Amino acid sequence: MSQLICQFLCSSEYAIGFQILNYTDDTAMTKSIAQSLIEIKKFDPKDIAKRFALEYNKEPKRGYGTNVVDVFAALMLANYEAPYEPAKRQFGGFGSYGELKIIFDMVDIDCGHSF
Residues sharing a CB contact under 8 Å with residue 70, sequence separation 6 or more, in sequence order? 86, 90
Q: Phi and psi at residue 89, in whole multiples of 5°?
A: -70, -20
25 is in an annotated binding site: yes
Does the annotation list 66 as a binding residue? no
Beta carbons within 8 Å of 44's beta carbon, 6+ residues apart? 36
User: What are phi and psi for residue 43, nearest 5 degrees?
Assistant: -75, 120
Is 24 part of any known ligand binding site?
yes
CA distance 83 to 71: 9
Annotated binding site for Mg(2+): 24-26
Annotated binding site: 24-26
